[in-house]
Amino acid sequence: MGNLVVTKTPKNPTSTIAARVARELGLSASFVEKVMNEEDEESEWGARWAIAKNKATPVSALTHLAKDKEADVRLAVLFNTNTPEETRAQFVTDENPTIRRELATSVLAWTESLNLLARDENFGVRMAVGANPKTPMEILEKLASDSDAGVRTAVATNTSATEEIRIKARQTKTSKPAH
């Protein structure tokens, strides 16, 4: 009779991710699984933040943590240079304007992300897009006429903007919003 191999399916979908994170970071799998499942909401967010911040954290864990309820954990994912752009792009619609603003300052942000963020309701997000040296000229052109003076100033001082766009941003007093 042959040997019967029984494989146990994890009861929680994060078990596989937790095992990989534990192996990569040298932590216990049970600790990582507990942290990833947010079982102890008050004390474990700091551990999730540390995992999200760690450059050795696997992409699958970063993708999972990008949906964390704590803004600090999501920011750590955003700032982790190993976070894939597809995951980073999800932050365009994040409920927290600080996260959207930080994405707008990133030189790693996709043009489509910057285009969407340039129409954000929050002037601070639009200002960050206007200041980003990687923002395409057509987006800067629109922001040069933004209703908010801070956004226009960000464009006017963006050394990547053409002289024509910087002049337009300095001359515009009030206009319709760019979004």
pLDDT tens for 22-51 read 666 666 666 666 666 655 555 577 888 989
Looking at the structure, tell me whether residues 133 and 171 fall in a common domain. Answer: yes
Looking at the structure, tell me whether residues 95 and 165 fall in a common domain. Answer: yes
Looking at the structure, tell me whether residues 31 and 110 fall in a common domain. Answer: no
Residue with the larger pLDDT of the pair 119 and 16: 119
Looking at the structure, tell me whether residues 72 and 153 fall in a common domain. Answer: no
Looking at the structure, tell me whether residues 92 and 177 fall in a common domain. Answer: yes
| pTM confidence score | 0.76
**Rounded to an integer, what is the distance from CA 105 to the centroid of its chain?**
10
**Rounded to an integer, what is the distance from CA 25 to the centroid of its chain?**
22
Average pLDDT along the chain: 83
Does residue 12 register a pLDDT over 80?
A: no
Residue 60 lies in a domain: yes
Q: And the tokens for 69?
A: 């309820």
CB 101 within 8 A of CB 114: no
Q: And the tokens for 19?
A: 């095992």
Looking at the structure, tell me whether residues 68 and 132 fall in a common domain. Answer: no
Looking at the structure, tell me whether residues 95 and 71 fall in a common domain. Answer: no
pLDDT tens for 69-84 read 999 999 999 999 999 9
pLDDT tens for 139-154 read 999 999 999 999 999 9
Would you call 8 helix, strand, or coil by DSSP? Answer: coil
Give the gyration radius of the chain's Cα atoms. 21
Instruction: Give φ, ψ of 145 to 5 degrees.
Output: -110, 15
Note the pLDDT of residue 45. 79
Looking at the structure, tell me whether residues 96 and 177 fall in a common domain. Answer: yes
Looking at the structure, tell me whether residues 50 and 114 fall in a common domain. Answer: no
Amino acid at 34: K
Residue 5 lies in a domain: no
Looking at the structure, tell me whether residues 22 and 66 fall in a common domain. Answer: yes
In the DSSP assignment, the letter for residue 119 is T
